[in-house]
Structure 1
């Protein structure tokens, strides 16, 4: 699974307070995911839109804006986070066509995925849940090695030590123009945007895990030139400031991205 799946995550927690009474911020991440909600449904909204219930199996492709999640009392969550290019390998459609558009997995991938959702609803052990999803992916996905493009694009997740875009394109055996065109199909956006999103996501996750850390310190640790560049990215990706987003984190019923490895 390693050529196309970065990690599995299974969460099963009972939350205090009324169902859907508190909201958890979920800024964009560079990972594309296949998410299952086998217990209480999860509700989502973008901006000032009304909350709507997510499908029991939701495909989350390229995301560029923050969404808010309202969680039920019994929050059970099984997530597959793909390596860059992994979701494209599964769906085989240009991902720029589904930008900021969560998809019903059963509608896209058919009855077999609906059957996976039903098995997860019956399962009681977390490891069993992971194995159910893993078995489906092993049947569904092509077991071929990662392409030069997929191996190269992962290097942009390497933080401050990441190579330049020109170097990554050369490692992918593509010209810069070919590399850019390939990235929009496979990732949903340009390589430069992907690198910015990865840097922003590192900063956000660092703040989730270290809430007392100063934004100035975080900006330096994550490779920003200065704090103003960090603020610019936060405004673009979350439509708010780092300070206000930190208050949303504090009031969140669950620190959703704190344990997500980048």
Structure 2
């Protein structure tokens, strides 16, 4: 990839006082080279994206078309591949919320975002529309990021229930291997009640989140080469067998494991630097 046309990605370290809400903060600017069939497989973050250039075309579980233009939007968890295209003129700032952070920010609206992308003004009203305008008028990445971070902190007023926070912690630390029935028993709830409360605050069931976490664990192992082939990855990531892993890969990434690995091997690295002025 020619460095003069490669997209610029600026990763801003998440401030310590936002770590309980946000997993990443980034600025993205294209310089002539757009995205074609770019995929995020079952993302574990819930994005808030402020568009400053040509909108991305984004679709869930399929290739995007012309009608899939997405300006500034928010989105929930989606247990499948998110496909993205752009024309080389996209510019945006993106805040990725953790599942618990999304509840802290959106409150009870989180389930309405599951497997959806919603215009920021439709969800956040006038405040959301004004946020986009203020960011567009700001000078430089630093000022834009400060505006968004202040906005996020001021609206982070909802607290998830301690039981759901504990359940997510167990699933996250175990990369989806913890038994949901045991989590429910330890909390003192039935599995059915845990699932209902979990969906109300996170947007998906604990079983779905556990599957997504196991899938991402398998992806990590494949990238690191720490396991012996796909059979070893399946075993280490907690799948019943290699066939089980292959089925999950097709659902969450839209590809076979070998096709996923081949695509990543040819993905061009993004240019990155720390956020400045």
Length-normalised TM-score, structure 1: 0.79
The partner residue of 1:71 within 79, 86, 110 is 86
Pick closer, same or farther for the CA change 1:15–1:23 going to 2, 3 Å: farther
Distance of 2:138 and 2:90 partners within structure 1 = 14
The partner residue of 1:155 within 157, 165, 170 is 170
Residue 245 of structure 1: how far off its partner (Å): 2.5
Instruction: Indicate conservation of the 8 Å contact 2:79/2:208, yes or no.
Output: no
Q: Deviations over 1:150-174 (max 9, x none)?
A: 2331321123585321333245453
Alignment partner, residue 105 of structure 1: 120
Q: Which is greater in Rg?
A: 2
Distance of 1:49 and 1:218 partners within structure 2 = 31
Pick closer, same or farther for the CA change 1:8–1:67 going to 2, 3 Å: closer
Residue 209 of structure 1: how far off its partner (Å): 7.0
The partner residue of 1:215 within 230, 234, 247 is 230
Distance of 2:165 and 2:220 partners within structure 1 = 24
Residue 206 of structure 1: how far off its partner (Å): 5.1
The partner residue of 1:8 within 24, 38, 46 is 24
Pick closer, same or farther for the CA change 1:124–1:225 going to 2, 3 Å: farther
Alignment partner, residue 258 of structure 2: 243
Residue 54 of structure 1: how far off its partner (Å): 1.0
Structure 1 runs not aligned, ≥5 long: 256-262
Q: Note the 1:1-262 alignment, pairs <5 A.
A: 1-2=17-18, 4-15=20-31, 17=33, 19-20=34-35, 22-46=36-60, 47-48=62-63, 50-51=65-66, 52-56=68-72, 58-93=73-108, 95-123=110-138, 125-142=140-157, 144=159, 147-159=162-174, 163-205=178-220, 207=222, 214-252=229-267
Distance of 1:164 and 1:48 partners within structure 2 = 35
Distance of 2:208 and 2:161 partners within structure 1 = 22
Instruction: Indicate conservation of the 8 Å contact 1:208/1:249, yes or no.
Output: no
Length-normalised TM-score, structure 2: 0.75
Distance of 2:188 and 2:142 partners within structure 1 = 39
Distance of 1:188 and 1:219 partners within structure 2 = 27
Distance of 2:152 and 2:187 partners within structure 1 = 26
